[in-house]
Every structure is written in C-alpha cells, then in structure tokens.
Structure 1
C-alpha cells in the first residue's frame, strides 16, 4: 500500500555519507565515537549523577566498546547519530579529551523527527558545554539533513537537563505523566521540542 506523502528525509541520507565532525564554539568539537574512547564512556557511567538518569551502566571497557560499536553502526542503519564532545587540544585529527556525549536517537526519517540526548562528564560541567553542543546539533539536523522536529525528554526532577534544553532553545511543551521508569521508580517527564523555523540561539 503506497504512502500518500513522500519521506521527508529520503533513505540513505545518512547511510550514504560519512558522519561529519561539527565544530562548536570555544574550541570544542563534536566527532564520531572511536573505540579508544571506551575509558571515557566507562568513567561517565560510573558517575552517580549519570547513572541516576539512565537505565544502563557499563561495568567494563569491553562493554563500553560494545556501546560505541552500536553508536557507530546506528549511523549506517539510520536509527541514530552519536557524537563525542571533545576538546581537540590542537590535534588535527580531532583527538583529545572526551567531555561528553550528544546524540540523535529514535530517528523517524520519513517524518523528519528525532530525539536528542546528552550527558557531560563531572569535571566538564558548569561550562555551558551541553547547551552549546545541543544547539550545534540542532542546527546541523535542521539545515543539513532536513529534520522538521527534534524532541528531548527528561525527568521533572532533572533541573540541570531542563536548563540545558531551555538554553538551547527547546520549548517546554508539557509533562508526560509517569513517562519513564528509573531505578528509583516512575518519573514524570518534561517534553521539550524545537521545530524547523523556530530559530536557534546565536550565542550561549
């Protein structure tokens, strides 16, 4: 049975291209994950704050590498797009200290929608890294790929994530009651979104 509306983002838009690195202000870079980043992922998911808002943990570097493989493969399966947030420190190849993660997941290319996700390692918090990375990711998704709507959801108790969303121009649209099961029980979730044409913050 044919669809009445053609796909907004045609198949292959991601898979037929190389995942790009995206520059961020203040010398930061979003780059595809590498197997060598496994220690940083392991350290991130050992952090109590990150564990509190996520459903999984990584106990070994092998598990972290498996996650990285999944994140890399998601690009070619067109189910997700995941970047490490790094400070290259003068390295031309984009190596450098991993500060966090920014991602698009739950991609629905046919209608141009995706969900944003992010975390920042403890030592890098308080510098505005997450909202700047999120703003750059949104600009790329709208202008380069053609997404129409980007969403993000976080527990109503996660005030830091709410601030990130607001600073990056994601409007709070409402509350999804009992929307997510965390280790400590059900949480109501704030739902934020940006749509194409909202305009993106010039500076954060």
Structure 2
C-alpha cells in the first residue's frame, strides 16, 4: 500500500555527512565525542545530581569508552546524534547535547542534555540546546523537536523555555528513575517557531 506523503527527511540525511562541529558563537562548541573524553564523562556521572535525573550510572572509564563508541556509531546509523559541549577556547568538557529517538521519515527527534557540576548555572545547557535546535530545524530540516524532563526538575524546565521549547503538557508516570516513576513535561519546537 503506498504512502500518501513523502518522508520529511530521507534515509541518509545524517549519515551521508560527517557529524559537524557546531559553535554557539558565545564561547561554546558542540563537537563529536572523542575516545579521550571518557575520563571527563565518567567524572561527570559521579555527581549525585546526575543520579537523580538520569537512568544510567557510569561505573568505570572503560564503560564510558563503550558509550562513546556507541554514540559515534549511532550517527552513522541515524538513531541518535550526540555532541560533547566544550569550552571553545580550552576544550574542557561542560556537558552533552543530543538528538535521540530520531525518526527521519517524520522529521522528529527528542533533544536531551546534561551538564557537568562545574558548568551549571552558566547557561551552558540552554545555549547548546538552542544551537543544536537551530541546526536540526533550519539546516537539516527536521520538522519537530521534543524535549522531556521530570516535572520536578525545574532547572530543565528553565532550559526548555530559554531554548524556545513550548510546554505542551504532562506525560503522567512516564519514566522510571531510581526513586520511582516520574511525571514528565513535554516541550516542543516546530520548524518555523
């Protein structure tokens, strides 16, 4: 049975190009992950706040090195697109920003991020999310980006708003964290917003 619409983005939209480096224009750079980032990612995941809002823990640098290999491979497979967020001058790791749950045919992906403890409160997540969103919507042609966070995570709600994501509603009891089921705010940006 034929489809009545064409894919928003064809297969190969991402994998046909190298993963780009995306400068924010204000001192940050979004760059592909490198194997040498494993110690910094491992250190970031030792922060108790990461355990509160994320469902993964990092037990070793070797484990994180495996994550980085997965992240690099996922670009080629167009499943997820993950960037390290670094200081543009020093290359110190400040966080991560990603497109997850990519569905090219529908032109939809979910934006996710985290920041290191030392970089919180400096607008890193909002600046990185804004830059990634502009690239995905304007340069690549995604139609819709979604952003989910636990309703109790007020800092993430502020990041979503500062990044131009409108609050659309609440997904009740949607994600299981270590402390139980969390309601999640659903925010979104649509091309042309």
Q: Which TM-score applies when normalising by structure 1?
A: 0.92
Give yes or no for contact 1:100–1:121 (8 Å, CA) kept in 2: yes
What stretches of structure 1 of length at least 5 have no aligned partner?
91-95, 199-204
Following TM superposition, by how much is the alpha carbon of 1:26 offset from its aligned partner in structure 2, in angstroms?
Answer: 2.2
> Superposed, which structure 2 residues align to 1:66-145 within 5 Å?
66-89=66-89, 96-145=91-140
Question: Distance between the aligned counterparts of 1:180 and 1:25, measured in 2?
Answer: 34
Question: Distance between the aligned counterparts of 2:26 and 2:17, measured in 1?
Answer: 27
Following TM superposition, by how much is the alpha carbon of 1:3 offset from its aligned partner in structure 2, in angstroms?
Answer: 2.1
Following TM superposition, by how much is the alpha carbon of 1:88 offset from its aligned partner in structure 2, in angstroms?
Answer: 3.1
Give yes or no for contact 1:100–1:119 (8 Å, CA) kept in 2: yes
Question: Distance between the aligned counterparts of 1:156 and 1:28, measured in 2?
Answer: 28
User: Aligned residue for 2:19?
Assistant: 19
Following TM superposition, by how much is the alpha carbon of 1:6 offset from its aligned partner in structure 2, in angstroms?
Answer: 1.3
The ranges of structure 1 where at least 4 consecutive aligned residues each deviate by more than 6 angstroms after the TM superposition are: none
Question: Distance between the aligned counterparts of 1:3 and 1:61, measured in 2?
Answer: 46
Question: Distance between the aligned counterparts of 1:4 and 1:116, measured in 2?
Answer: 28
Residues 52-95 of structure 1, C-alpha deviation per residue, up to 9 Å, x if partnerless?
Answer: 111111111110010011111111000011000001326xxxxx
Q: Which TM-score applies when normalising by structure 2?
A: 0.97
User: Aligned residue for 1:152?
Assistant: 147
Residue 9 of structure 2 aligns to a residue whose secondary structure is coil
Give yes or no for contact 1:25–1:132 (8 Å, CA) kept in 2: no
Count of residue pairs brought into register by the alignment: 193
> Superposed, which structure 2 residues align to 1:44-55 within 5 Å?
44-55=44-55
Following TM superposition, by how much is the alpha carbon of 1:20 offset from its aligned partner in structure 2, in angstroms?
Answer: 0.3
User: Aligned residue for 2:42?
Assistant: 42
**Is 1:167 the counterpart of 2:162 in the alignment?**
yes
Which of these residues, 180, 188, 192, is aligned with residue 193 of structure 1?
Answer: 188
Residue 55 of structure 1 aligns to a residue whose secondary structure is coil
Question: Distance between the aligned counterparts of 1:25 and 1:155, measured in 2?
Answer: 29
Residues 141-168 of structure 1, C-alpha deviation per residue, up to 9 Å, x if partnerless?
Answer: 0111110000011111000000000011
Cα RMSD after superposing both structures: 0.9
